[in-house]
Structure 1
Amino acid sequence: MLAYAYQPLVATRPCGKNCARPGDLPCPDRDNDGIAEVNCSKTSRLGRLPWRTLGLGDIRDGSGERLWYAVSERYKNNTRVLPLNTDTPGSWTVRTLNGMVWDATQGSGVVAVIIAPMQPLLRKDGWLQQRDVLSSEEARHYLDLSGLGDNASPVEHMAQGFVQAPASLSFNDVVWPVTATLMHRRMQQQVLSELKRAFRCIGRACAGLPLSAAMADRSCLGDQSLSAGLCLPATSGLGRLPLAADANWPLALQQMLDGDAMHHWFQQNGWREQVFYQPGPQRATLVVAGEKLLPQMRLTETDKSSFAAYLEAATLQKLQIKDANAIDMPSNDSMEP
């Protein structure tokens, strides 16, 4: 599934507001043919794992059943909800009997859930599971109920999501959450990989390499289109990627860095706000900020004007930047010198 979300994203023409992007996950399979549905609404984000779409074999659990799958509203690939970046939480809650909770109501939900239904049983509500052609699309015949919730009827964005529980006479689902943190790390790696291709001239002198945009330049923030006069090259050190029409960035011709939110996933998902850039004489350093850690705040424009809101002390130290407000915690940033 993470491999599916890590796909080449070069756009050769404008793609409107529905561009393929890092973090995209397919809709569930709702008719048991292994193929993801074209789109998935609020009532159709739970179904079977689309194994054909994901390029997998016909995966079965220990009872011979196909796996079930739910995708987060913000991570589904059609119709896409914008923006999607490392500040985007998952929208499914998963609870366990030992007290561990991924809670969508507190911003710590998961981006997807995979479930092995195992053998049919008598659910705690008295529903006898029967698995035949007529019942193949009804979740209650496959997914179970516990005191913490019902895997057959989870509510997205709410505390009543999915349940992990020990096997019993009335519950034998095996539930695997795909956490936002795990997905965000893959998204960071993909963004960095795409940017490296846009900066492929950095291995030699690159006359068109612009200065960075100042952190205080608020026009660099958000996911709206940029136009001439916005997010300008301004500083000689670390900053955000500027809008520079004369920059020697080959992929700018393919809309990645041109600032138009109708052309590419980069601008329309707010990645310019989370990518940092330090030009040098012959090469540049690129940093993609990780998801915000507990002490970091990215709510206001004032928050977002500080390196410490995005980058940890260890990252800034490597970049020879001093910031007394930077948090001294293990860094989750991705960097490419």
Structure 2
Amino acid sequence: MFDSKARSQSRPLAAQRGAALLVGLLILMTTFALVLAGSIASSAIQRMRHDEVTTRALAEAKRGLIAWSVMRNPTDQPSVSARPGDMPCPDMTNLPGSPLFGTAAATCSPGDLGYFPWRTVGTGPLTDSAGAPLWYAVDGAFKWGLAFGAHDSKPINSDTVAVLKVKAEDGVTDLSSSAIAVIFAPGGALAGQSRAAGNAVCGATGGTSRPRQRCADNYLEASTGINNAKNTGPFISGAPSATFNDRLVWLTVADVMPGVERRVLTSVKRMLTPGSLPNPAQFNDPDCRDNDTTTTCQSAPSVCRGILPELPAMSATWIGRNHWYRLVYYAVGLNAAPNCTAAQTVTGVGPKQAVLIAMGAARAGQVRGAPYALRNYLDDTANQSGWSGSGPGADVTVPPSATSNDQMVTIP
């Protein structure tokens, strides 16, 4: 009887102890989960902060490069090799920490890899979240280093075509097939990479010995068979992995040329005298379309709507030498030029003596060259009758729309 009573009294105590144990276990598991979640969140925040550092460095390098390129030869001095739109070579000589590190090489081959030339561009030193300096490659058509006379056969303007390619993660899709320049954030050193001082065999240079800190293989990796350490590309914006941690941004004509086109229009407007304007050149004049320095794109006395002629004031400057006159629609009226009486009316602005429209880079579907249809040069339909239209509508233009990449100025 005593045993039976004791057993009946011990059952609630055992149940209470079991419940307490269960509650304790639950508290322990909850605490562990919270600690684990906190650790995961902390790691995620840390990764985000690292990503932000790299993102900011790449963005600052891109902004600095665009600004530097647009403002080349800021006073439009004649016989100067600096051309708005061109890009510096990489730093291919100096090592991190050296006095001249970040200085662009005087010359380079198309697609050569090297350090981002921050000293030349003026951004200050830029590193990614791992403290690695940025790397850089430039397209051959846009690299600097040409002597002044070479501009004639290798001009830089909105029709200049770059060929550097950047591939997507799949290694097949083109993120860009016409990059002017590519900027790389290498990330931390991975297995097999050594960024220590001293020389070693470098696969990126065909197995020759060179400083480890100038060997692209020690900074850039391959993904899906495409190697970012290979000069000329193609390059890849691959998925992060244990064997690939490069991040990159790139520049295209659309990033750089709008600023240069604004400079062209501003400079040309200063060269023109209201009330005494030259006639336009015929848009398909062979002398306006070749790269022959012995011929000049001249005004045509009977033409009131065409392209900008090669003005005497521009012929020895970067504007003339890089054939920007080909890419400026020019219409004149109000007797400001011989035989041009009709006003050039800009919708919402009023009658003008002249209208100049810088033609942005060709859009999808626009094919430039003979027979030089204006629809392949100007984006807004209302502006596409000027070269061939003979009715009053041909003397009416509209300001470039929000979806256009054209730019306009008027005189006066």
User: After TM superposition, is the score higher than 0.5?
Assistant: yes
1:249 maps to: none
Return 5+ residue gaps in structure 1 as ranges.
123-127, 246-251
1:87 maps to: 159
1:288 maps to: 358
Structure 2 distance, partners of 1:24, 1:318, is: 33
CA offsets 1:173-199 (integer angstroms, 9 cap, x no match): 011111232223233223223223323
- How many residue pairs get matched? 293
Q: Contact 1:215–1:307 (CA<8 Å) still a contact in 2?
A: no
Q: Contact 1:225–1:267 (CA<8 Å) still a contact in 2?
A: no
Q: Secondary structure at the match of 1:136?
A: helix
1:215 maps to: 283
> Is 1:191 matched with 2:268?
no
2:252 maps to: 179
Structure 2 distance, partners of 1:227, 1:79, is: 21
> Is 1:272 matched with 2:325?
yes
CA offsets 1:119-170 (integer angstroms, 9 cap, x no match): 0002xxxxx011122211011001111114101114x3xxx51110121110
Q: Look up the equivalent residue of 1:167 and give its one-letter code.
A: P
Per the TM alignment, residue 34 of structure 1 is displaced from its structure 2 partner at its CA by 1.0
Pair 1:170–1:221, CA change in 2 (3 A) = same
Q: Look up the equivalent residue of 2:180 and give its one-letter code.
A: V
TM-align CA RMSD: 2.8
Per the TM alignment, residue 86 of structure 1 is displaced from its structure 2 partner at its CA by 1.2
Q: Contact 2:227–2:235 (CA<8 Å) still a contact in 1?
A: yes
Pair 1:226–1:290, CA change in 2 (3 A) = farther
Structure 1 distance, partners of 2:263, 2:311, is: 23
Q: Secondary structure at the match of 2:214?
A: coil
Q: Secondary structure at the match of 1:209?
A: coil
> Is 1:14 matched with 2:82?
no
Q: TM-score w.r.t. structure 1 length? A: 0.78
Structure 2 distance, partners of 1:317, 1:303, is: 14
Structure 1 distance, partners of 2:77, 2:166, is: 39
Structure 2 distance, partners of 1:84, 1:42, is: 15
Q: Look up the equivalent residue of 2:87 and give its one-letter code.
A: L
| Equivalent residue in structure 1 for 2:127, among 55, 60, 64 | 60
Per the TM alignment, residue 334 of structure 1 is displaced from its structure 2 partner at its CA by 1.4
Structure 2 distance, partners of 1:58, 1:114, is: 14
Structure 2 distance, partners of 1:187, 1:11, is: 12
Q: Contact 2:356–2:408 (CA<8 Å) still a contact in 1?
A: yes
Q: Secondary structure at the match of 1:286?
A: strand
CA offsets 1:239-277 (integer angstroms, 9 cap, x no match): 1112466xxxxxx1xxx1x3xxxx222233222211111
CA offsets 1:86-144 (integer angstroms, 9 cap, x no match): 111222110011564145xxxx320000001010002xxxxx01112221101100111
| Equivalent residue in structure 2 for 1:240, among 303, 307, 322 | 307
Q: Look up the equivalent residue of 1:29 and give its one-letter code.
A: D
CA offsets 1:203-224 (integer angstroms, 9 cap, x no match): xxx2421221222433222333
| Equivalent residue in structure 2 for 1:101, among 164, 174, 182 | 174
Q: Contact 1:223–1:268 (CA<8 Å) still a contact in 2?
A: no
Q: Secondary structure at the match of 2:269?
A: helix
Q: Look up the equivalent residue of 2:244 and give its one-letter code.
A: F
> Is 1:231 matched with 2:298?
yes
> Is 1:73 matched with 2:140?
yes
Structure 2 distance, partners of 1:91, 1:12, is: 30
Q: Look up the equivalent residue of 2:159 and give its one-letter code.
A: D
Structure 2 distance, partners of 1:314, 1:10, is: 35
Q: Contact 1:289–1:332 (CA<8 Å) still a contact in 2?
A: yes
Pair 1:5–1:139, CA change in 2 (3 A) = same
2:88 maps to: 26
Q: Secondary structure at the match of 2:118?
A: coil
Return 5+ residue gaps in structure 2 as ranges.
1-64, 96-100, 199-211, 335-351, 387-392
2:229 maps to: 152
- Which structure shows the bigger proportion of residues in helix conformation? 2
Per the TM alignment, residue 290 of structure 1 is displaced from its structure 2 partner at its CA by 1.2
Per the TM alignment, residue 331 of structure 1 is displaced from its structure 2 partner at its CA by 2.1
Structure 2 distance, partners of 1:243, 1:178, is: 30
Structure 2 distance, partners of 1:243, 1:175, is: 40
| Equivalent residue in structure 2 for 1:49, among 98, 105, 116 | 116
Q: Look up the equivalent residue of 1:27 and give its one-letter code.
A: C
Per the TM alignment, residue 279 of structure 1 is displaced from its structure 2 partner at its CA by 2.2
Structure 2 distance, partners of 1:75, 1:66, is: 23
CA offsets 1:303-336 (integer angstroms, 9 cap, x no match): 22x322211234607974389xxxx994221112
Q: Secondary structure at the match of 2:126?
A: coil
